[in-house]
Amino acid sequence: MTEQIDEEPTSARDVLSYMLKSLREKAGKSLSQLAEDTGYERSYLNRLENGDRLSKRTVMEDLDGYYETDTLLRQLWKLAKDEVIVDRYRLFMQYEATATIMHRYSEVIPGLLQTEGYARVLFSSAPGRWTQDELESQISARIGRQYLLHRTPAPSARFIINESVLMRPTVDPEVWREQLSHLIKSADLPSIVLQVLPFSAGVHPLMGGSLALLWQQDGSSVAWMEGNNSGTLYEDSEEVTKFRLSYDRLRDLALTPSASVNFISKILEDSKP
């Protein structure tokens, strides 16, 4: 009898995960047996079948060989990968919404720590890009995401910001002072650690971009690397580990949390009339 499913797959990634499970069941294999036959961990194979992970191409090549499906799984993997690239930021936001640990490096004030006034300045800096309604929607969406830092339990969040961020104030000094004060207040929350990476740290591996590392309740992690108007989501554990090592290096080069707050406080004090 043909197996009935509650819902039809709605994306290439859904199709891939459904096909992986269907092929295994058709072969009469349990996840444990498949893990033993292929050398991949059972938990890893389970996450592929659930659509929680997107594997490397070589994994699909191995499974195509195992199931004798020619290039079927590789082709589905490519479609799923392209789909993720097109919709990568939406997927990143889904990971962010459920993250229990967040580590970020940024060469701008991170969106999760921006005030409404500062966000408005940023979104308004590109003339003609937004209509007024679109502008307000973008600002509302950005500020609305900040609930992530205040949910219960709150995620453990560490932000490292480049000193250059603090050397570029807004034209309106009041907006800038409000933003600096907000950074200081945010750093006082028990779930947030804020550090400043000083110019004296010199050249580092994340120059010219922003990095977000997110960990989930089950221990899995992803990395989001963003440059000028583009971003890439990394789900492969080896890739994520490389970015984590780069982040750890920046953390060691950055000012201590208390010294960072003092640094920002000094800038705030100097900005007062």
CATH number, domain of 181, equals 3.30.870.10
Q: Report the number of distinct structural domains present in the chain.
A: 2
Looking at the structure, tell me whether residues 82 and 178 fall in a common domain. Answer: no
- Express as a percent the part of the chain with pLDDT over 90: 66
Looking at the structure, tell me whether residues 34 and 96 fall in a common domain. Answer: no
Residue 202 resides in a domain: yes
Which is higher by pLDDT, 78 or 155?
Answer: 155
pTM given for the model: 0.68
Residue 194, SS3 per DSSP: strand
Looking at the structure, tell me whether residues 156 and 76 fall in a common domain. Answer: no
pLDDT band at 6 (very low <50, low <70, confident <90, very high): very low
Residue 9 has pLDDT above 60, yes or no: no
Looking at the structure, tell me whether residues 60 and 163 fall in a common domain. Answer: no
Question: In angstroms, rounded to a whole number, what is the distance separating the alpha carbons of residues 132 and 2?
Answer: 53
Q: What range does the domain containing 77 cover? A: 12-86
**Residue-averaged pLDDT of the chain:** 89
Residue 1 has pLDDT above 50, yes or no: no
Which is higher by pLDDT, 81 or 29?
Answer: 29
Looking at the structure, tell me whether residues 59 and 92 fall in a common domain. Answer: no
Looking at the structure, tell me whether residues 60 and 158 fall in a common domain. Answer: no
Question: In angstroms, rounded to a whole number, what is the distance separating the alpha carbons of residues 37 and 31?
Answer: 10
Looking at the structure, tell me whether residues 63 and 102 fall in a common domain. Answer: no
DSSP letter assigned to residue 211: E
pLDDT tens figures, 84-126: 555 677 788 889 999 999 999 999 999 999 999 999 999 888 7
Question: In angstroms, rounded to a whole number, what is the distance separating the alpha carbons of residues 10 and 14?
Answer: 6
Of the candidates 193, 194, 201, 200, the residue with the CA atom closest to the CA atom of residue 253: 201
Question: In angstroms, rounded to a whole number, what is the distance separating the alpha carbons of residues 29 and 175?
Answer: 62
pLDDT tens figures, 126-148: 777 778 878 888 888 888 889 99
pLDDT tens figures, 215-227: 999 999 999 998 7
- Confidence (pLDDT) at 5: 38
Q: What is the mean pLDDT of residues 39-56?
A: 88
Q: What is the mean pLDDT of residues 70-91?
A: 78
- Confidence (pLDDT) at 42: 94
**156-162 and 192-197: which strand pairing?**
parallel
- Confidence (pLDDT) at 209: 86
Establish how many alpha carbons lie within 13 A of residue 165's alpha carbon, considering only the half-sphere containing its beta carbon.
Answer: 29
- Confidence (pLDDT) at 273: 84
Please, are residues 66 and 117 in contact by the beta-carbon 8 Å criterion?
no
CATH number at residue 52: 1.10.260.40
Which residues are CB-neighbours of 258 under 8 A, at least 6 positions away?
Answer: none
Residue 112 belongs to what H/E stretch?
A: none
- Residue 106 has φ and ψ, to the nearest 5°, of -145, 145
Of the candidates 79, 214, 116, the residue with the CA atom closest to the CA atom of residue 157: 214
